[in-house]
Chain A
Amino acid sequence: GESVGLHLPTLSVQEGDNSIINCAYSNSASDYFIWYKQESGKGPQFIIDIRSNMDKRQGQRVTVLLNKTVKHLSLQIAATQPGDSAVYFCAESGGSNYKLTFGKGTLLTVNP
Chain B
Amino acid sequence: DAGITQSPRYKITETGRQVTLMCHQTWSHSYMFWYRQDLGHGLRLIYYSAAADITDKGEVPDGYVVSRSKTENFPLTLESATRSQTSVYFCASTQSTPDTQYFGPGTRLTVL
Contacts and interface: CB of A to CB of B under 8 A. Distances in A.
Contacts of B100: 34, 46, 49
Interface in A83-112: 89, 91, 93-94, 97-100, 102-105
Interface string B16-50: 00000000000000010000000011110100101
A44 B89 CA distance: 12
B102 interface: yes
Interface residues of B, number: 20
Nearest to B103: A43
Contacts of A104: 40-42
Main secondary structure on B side of the interface with A: loop
A45 interface: yes
A42 interface: yes
Contacts of A44: 43, 90, 103
Interface of A: 31-32, 34, 36, 41-46, 49, 89, 91, 93-94, 97-100, 102-105
21 contacts: A32-B98, A32-B99, A34-B101, A41-B106, A42-B105, A43-B103, A43-B105, A44-B90, A44-B103, A45-B103, A46-B101, A93-B97, A94-B98, A97-B97, A98-B31, A98-B97, A99-B45, A99-B58, A100-B45, A102-B43, A104-B41
